[in-house]
Amino acid sequence: MAASTGDTYRPKGYWVPHVVIAVGILITAFPLWVAFVASTLTLGQISQAPMQLWPGDQFWVVWKDVLEVGGGGGGRIITAPVSTMMWNSFVMAMVIAVGKIVISLMSAYAIVFFRVPFRTFFFWMIFVTLMLPVEVRIIPTLQVVSDLGMLNSFAGLTVPLIASATATFMFRQFFMTIPDELVEAAKIDGAGPVRFFFDIVLPLSRTTIAALFVILFIYGWNQYLWPLLVTTNQNLDTVVIGLAKQIDTAGGVTEWNKVMATALLALLPPMLVVILMQRWFVKGLVETEK
Amino acid sequence: MAEVRLNGVRKVYAGGVEAVKGVSFTVPDKTFCVLVGPSGCGKSTLLRLVAGLETITSGDVLIGDDRVNDKDPSDRDIAMVFQNYALYPHMSVYENMAYGLKNRGTSKADIDKRVKEAAKILAIEGFLNRKPRQLSGGQRQRVAMGRAIVRQPKAFLFDEPLSNLDAKLRVQMRVEIRKLQRNLGVTSIYVTHDQLEAMTLGDMLVVMNGGVIEQIGSPLEVYADPASTFVATFIGSPPMNVFPVSVDGAGILSLADGTRVGATSDHKGDLLLGLRPENLTIDDLPGATFVATGRVALMEPLGAETLAYITLGTSGPEIIVRLQGHATQPPGTPVTVRAAASAIHRFDAKTGRKV
Ligand SMILES: Nc1ncnc2c1ncn2[C@@H]1O[C@H](COP(=O)(O)OP(=O)(O)OP(=O)(O)O)[C@@H](O)[C@H]1O
Ligand SMILES: [Mg+2]
């Protein structure tokens, strides 16, 4: 054997996993690259087959247009500017995520730590709604929202989506791992229900909250069916709705470069949330701080 | 500082389990009271009734002159140390100790003073900024103690606070708890199922079994004069030898196989005889009252002493005799076991109570 060179030990065929990973990345990233390239080309360039795979010179033109003016089919502007839509989506996703977390934190707290009459019944009621897909109750919900005059408003967009069986269930599971003695120690230390919630339960739930926030933010951001039903006002379009609107199915011309720019923009916030919260997210899913 | 008094306290859990069946005793001011008994006998329940963590089904709990039955735990002016410490995981040691005071509206300066004082007493000054998970078991135990003493409560309640520690640390903490309680002079109730802890810690021992009190007394009283076979076999290690004997018309006691044991009794009916292993000998004992022949079954040398397992008479019972130093008689060696009159405990065979 030659003298050790200080190299790390490399088993035979160590490059195989690397190649697999590289191929995986290419496969995943390729559509994104195509989308990006398309957003920098003119419509004419896009319609040539095969489409070129290196960026054109239209980046600023297309992206600025999309962000400030909006898009549509055949040159008609039928959506709000993407910047407005992004804001709408952001507000909607935030309100839904934060609202869901607040509501389910409180309901799980009530279910786990208080002897409410019928609490098992309530829990199962909540649990059963887990099994109902949103679509099943979407028409009755729409009726209610419409009766309450909440169509075409942020309230109508967000409130019906805030109740969350999944998040309640997750918090319940987490709360049940908090040892009884901790609750009792807090009682002896003079912490009433409100203090106990803010001083003990909330700080202990931080990682769970972070993990749920990521999931719920993306859930809210990606909503399509509900905003489609509740809003007709262009200024309330979310970016997902706007994206769909831009793809003209009525025989007009679809401005694919704008569509691609919009799609990439729509991708950014959820991605940022995941990247920024990644550490917390993983922590929340795998460990509990106890 | 206050005495703690229980008057006919009963606890029936929602499921119908009667965990505490009418218990009365008084722990005088500044006294260290140890509640001891086998698993499931209701010790923790009793402690939690005093703490206010469970509702009392009937009877009264008084702390000082206050009837506290309907008071919240935080208004009873007690502090509790739990078996798993129950430290707040997200708070530093300092915050853990300060939390109860903060909730009571104690001033910042006062909190700081008290926490630092307690930390000094417990030698945890170096850890005040650490989180509980960065501490060893023994250190966590100290923090839990610290959380109790900063409150300067009327009474300390301990529920098996040492059972999560290793044997060596347990002995060390046991001594420390005892010293601490002496110095602070706070009335304490300490729950344990470890009879060694019970013997060494308590000024006062309350032996429980099946939700009722078997005996109350100082550890040495309970040891020397057990009120029932349960107490006799529960306190002391190795436990007291208890075996049945019959009493004939003349009051002479004999084993099941007819072997006479020397001792007499005027009790009507069968008896259980109790003899502590340390009070027995296989050597000569002038004036011995209990004299019975038997054979060595096994010798267990422990270093400073030897435990001899001896089959009395021809067919038993097997008893343990604690011998000083080494003894190496092979199994089967005939021996005569003796004990003085004062070492013989007699219990009624039916009730198990002392006669
Ligand atoms: N919350 C409860 N609901 C119903 N029964 C209970 C409850 N807590 C305890 N018990 C029952 O009450 C009895 C006494 O329990 P307790 O916890 O006081 O025992 P313990 O003496 O502390 O035992 P250990 O030494 O094992 O801790 C047991 O039979 C137990 O099953
Ligand atoms: Mg217990």
Two tokens, residue B25: 């005793």
pLDDT for residue B266: 75
The contacts of residue A198 (CB under 8 Å, 6+ apart) are none
Mean pLDDT of chain A: 85
Quote the distance between the C-alpha of residue A139 and its chain's center: 23
Quote the distance between the C-alpha of residue B348 and its chain's center: 24
Q: Are A190 and B103 an interchain contact pair (Cβ–Cβ within 8 Å)?
A: yes
Distance from the Cα of B198 to chain A's closest Cα (Å) equals 23
What per-residue string of b and e applies to B149-168 under the rule 16 or more CB within 10 Å gives b? bbbebbbbbbbbbbebbeee
The contacts of residue B148 (CB under 8 Å, 6+ apart) are B79, B80, B81, B156
Distance from the Cα of A108 to chain B's closest Cα (Å) equals 20
- C-alpha A78/C-alpha A72 separation (Å) is 5
Q: Which secondary structure element, helix H or strand E, spans residue A268, and what is its range?
A: helix A256-286
CA distance readout (Å), B297 to B193, B284, B312, B319: 30, 20, 10, 10
- C-alpha B87/C-alpha B97 separation (Å) is 9
What per-residue string of b and e applies to B75-84 under the rule 16 or more CB within 10 Å gives b? ebbbbbbbbb
Instruction: Give the model confidence (pLDDT) of B13-60 as tens digits.
Output: 988 899 999 999 999 999 999 999 999 999 999 999 999 999 999 999
- C-alpha B144/C-alpha B82 separation (Å) is 8
The contacts of residue B81 (CB under 8 Å, 6+ apart) are B144, B145, B147, B148, B156, B157, B158, B159, B161
Two tokens, residue B200: 């060494």
Phi, psi of A145 (to 5 degrees): -60, -40
Q: Which secondary structure element, helix H or strand E, spans residue B157, and what is its range?
A: strand B155-159
Top residue of B71, B88, B143, B145 to mutate, by most chain A CBs within 10 Å, is: B88
Domains of chain A by range and CATH? 88-240+270-286 (1.10.3720.10)
Largest CA-CA distance found in chain A, in angstroms, rounded: 83
Two tokens, residue A152: 């075409």
Quote the distance between the C-alpha of residue B325 and its chain's center: 28
Residue bearing the CA closest to ligand 1, atom 24: B39
Ligand of minimum distance to the alpha carbon of B82: 2
In the three-class reduction of DSSP (H, G, I as helix; E, B as strand; rest coil), residue B227 is classed as coil
CA distance readout (Å), A156 to A92, A132, A160: 10, 21, 7
**Is residue A210 pLDDT above 80, yes or no?**
yes
CA dihedral of residues A270, A274, A275, A279 (deg, nearest 10): 170
Query: Computed over its alpha carbons, how large is the radius of gyration of chain A?
Result: 25
Phi, psi of A162 (to 5 degrees): -75, -40
Ligand of minimum distance to the alpha carbon of B43: 1
Q: Are B78 and A188 an interchain contact pair (Cβ–Cβ within 8 Å)?
A: yes
Q: Any bridge partners for residue B290, and if so which?
A: B339
Largest CA-CA distance found in chain B, in angstroms, rounded: 78
CA distance readout (Å), A206 to A110, A289, B31, B222, B287: 18, 9, 43, 52, 75
Show the low-confidence residues of chain B (pLDDT under 70): 1
What per-residue string of b and e applies to B174-199 under the rule 16 or more CB within 10 Å gives b? bebbbebbeebebbbbbbbbbbebbb
Residue bearing the CA closest to ligand 1, atom 25: B39
Instruction: Give the model confidence (pLDDT) of A248-276 as tens digits.
Output: 666 667 888 888 999 999 999 999 999 98
**Is residue A290 pLDDT above 70, yes or no?**
no
Which atom of ligand 1 approaches the CA of B211 most closely? 14
- C-alpha A185/C-alpha A189 separation (Å) is 6
Residue bearing the CA closest to ligand 1, atom 18: B42
Instruction: Give the model confidence (pLDDT) of A68-106 as tens digits.
Output: 887 765 556 677 888 899 999 999 999 999 999 999 999
> Concatenated DSSP letters for B24-74?
EEEE-TT-EEEEE-STTSSHHHHHHHHHTSS--SEEEEEETTEE-TTS-GG
Quote the distance between the C-alpha of residue A126 and its chain's center: 22
**Strand order from edge to edge, sheet including B18-27:** B18-27, B4-12, B58-63, B66-67
Phi, psi of B60 (to 5 degrees): -130, 145
ipTM metric: 0.83
**Is residue A2 pLDDT above 50, yes or no?**
no
Determine how β-strand B155-159 pairs with β-strand B187-192. Answer: parallel
Q: Which secondary structure element, helix H or strand E, spans residue B232, and what is its range?
A: helix B229-234
Which has the closest alpha carbon to A239: A213, A219, A265, A258? A265
Nearest CB to B103 within list A182, A191, A289: A191
Instruction: Give the model confidence (pLDDT) of A145-182 as tens digits.
Output: 999 988 888 899 898 888 778 888 889 999 999 999 99
Q: What is the DSSP letter of B333?
A: -
Residue count of chain B, please give it.
355
Pocket test for ligand 1, best of B12, B35, B36, B43 (most atoms within 8 A of CB): B43
pLDDT for residue A249: 61
Stretch A7-31: mean pLDDT: 87
Residue A216 pLDDT level (bands cut at 50, 70, 90): very high
pLDDT for residue A5: 52
Two tokens, residue A46: 């896009």
Please tell me if the CB atom of residue B40 comes closer than 6 angstroms to any atom of ligand 1: yes
Residue of chain B whose alpha carbon sits nearest to that of A181: B86
Residue A128 pLDDT level (bands cut at 50, 70, 90): confident
Contact B224, B217 (CB under 8 A): no
Residue A30 pLDDT level (bands cut at 50, 70, 90): very high
Residues of B in contact with A188 (CB under 8 A): 51, 53, 73-74, 78-80, 100
Q: What is the DSSP letter of A136?
A: G
Distance between terminal CA atoms of chain B? Answer: 39
pTM metric for this prediction: 0.81
